[in-house]
Every structure is written in structure tokens, then in C-alpha cells.
Amino acid sequence: MRIDRWRGHAIAAAALLMAATLPAAAQDAATIAAQGNGKGAAPCQTCHTPDGGGQASGGFPRLAGENAAYLQAQLDAFASGTRDNPVMKLQASALTEAERKALAIYFSRMPAVATPDAAGTTPFADPEHLGETLATRGRWSKQVPACVQCHGPGGVGVGADFPPLAGQSANYLAAQLKAFRSGSRHNDPMGLMRNISHSLSDRDIDAVAHWFAAQPFPPKESRP
């Protein structure tokens, strides 16, 4: 009886601790996003904006409404070096694992927004509809599948491994495809994006990046 009573108290205490920790983690993440962590990590919103929409001209991606597991995986990859970016390497390395997780959850819960001027302020000339063709049909003659086969209809994203492309900055999307192609980014599952990007020209990359940037980014409940 005494052991059972002790177990009951222990379970109750653990539940209370978890309940207290979750709001604290959210509060800490909001503080880091707005002010940094005071240990070398700069405020996230400096580059990614207060609403998490990102900045198209600078190639800073949207974080708001993204999959939490995907965001955490990217922060972990920056910290470990499997995704190469000097700025984000410093940023992610200055965050603890718990802070990276809390930030990923924080941004995932923000309302989904499209990056302002995601496709750029100057219309991208694509009379052959190259971007749409690659996105929706692929180029099987070069073993390039349609992007939407993994990233979902219109590029809305599927799970933790295939992030949303719709409404994301064209500059950012193009930079990532080129990073996969060069090998400076190598945290893709089974090398999938590295294999695909090797068959894409600069023109292909710019076209498909601009096509996805122009697509609407739906709220989370409307995605697969």
C-alpha cells in the first residue's frame, strides 16, 4: 500500500512538472525568437521576421507553420554541420538541444504565412512553363520525379521529411537546390535531393523555385 501510494505521488508530481515545463519552454522560445538567448544566439526574428514569414530578398526562409520535427532536424543539422551555413552554424550551436526543440515547436504553432514577395518583385519569365512541368510532372528522361510526388499537391509539404515549398522564398528554394547539387547540404533522406539536383540546370532550378514560390501556402489543417 505504501509503495502504491508513493508511486501515485511520483506520477502526480511528474505530471505537474510536465505541465509547468511546457508553458515555460514556450515562453523561453518566444524570448529567444525576439531577443536571443544571451549565450550567442541572436533573435530569430531579425532575419525570419516577427511573424516567421522570412525575407525573400535575403533568402531567409519562412518558419511559421512549418513541421516542428523538420525544423528541429534542420537546427540539429546546422549545429552538427550536416547542413552547411556559417550564420546558422553559429546560431544553432549557441542553442541547447532543448532550446532548438522549443523553437521548432514555437514556430510550427505560428499561423501559416507566405513569405512576402516570395516569387520576387519582378515576374519570372517562363514561357515554356518549365517550372510547372518539373514540379508537377518531373523529367523522367533524366530520372527526375515530379516534386509534388514527395512534397504534396502544390508543394504543401508532407510530414517531417518533405517540407512545404509553396509560398516559400524563390531565392531560398533555389539556394537549397544548388546546395544539394554542390554537396554543401547533405542532410536529405537517402541522398534523394542530391541525386535529383544533379540532373537540374540553373535554369531548371530558378524556374521550379519561382513556380513554388507563387503557390498558396495553406493552413496546417489543410495539408496532408
The annotation places the binding site at 44, 47-48, 88, 147, 150-151, 193
Query: DSSP states of 105-161 as a string?
Result: HHHHTSPP-PPTTTT-SS----TT-HHHHHHHT-BGGGTB--THHHH-GGG--BTTT
Question: Whole-angstrom Cα distance, residue 203 to residue 205?
Answer: 5
Residues making up the binding site for heme c = 44, 47-48, 88, 147, 150-151, 193
Residue 175 CA, chain-centre distance (Å), reads: 14
Question: Whole-angstrom Cα distance, residue 98 to residue 75?
Answer: 11
Question: Whole-angstrom Cα distance, residue 87 to residue 194?
Answer: 22
Question: Whole-angstrom Cα distance, residue 13 to residue 193?
Answer: 46
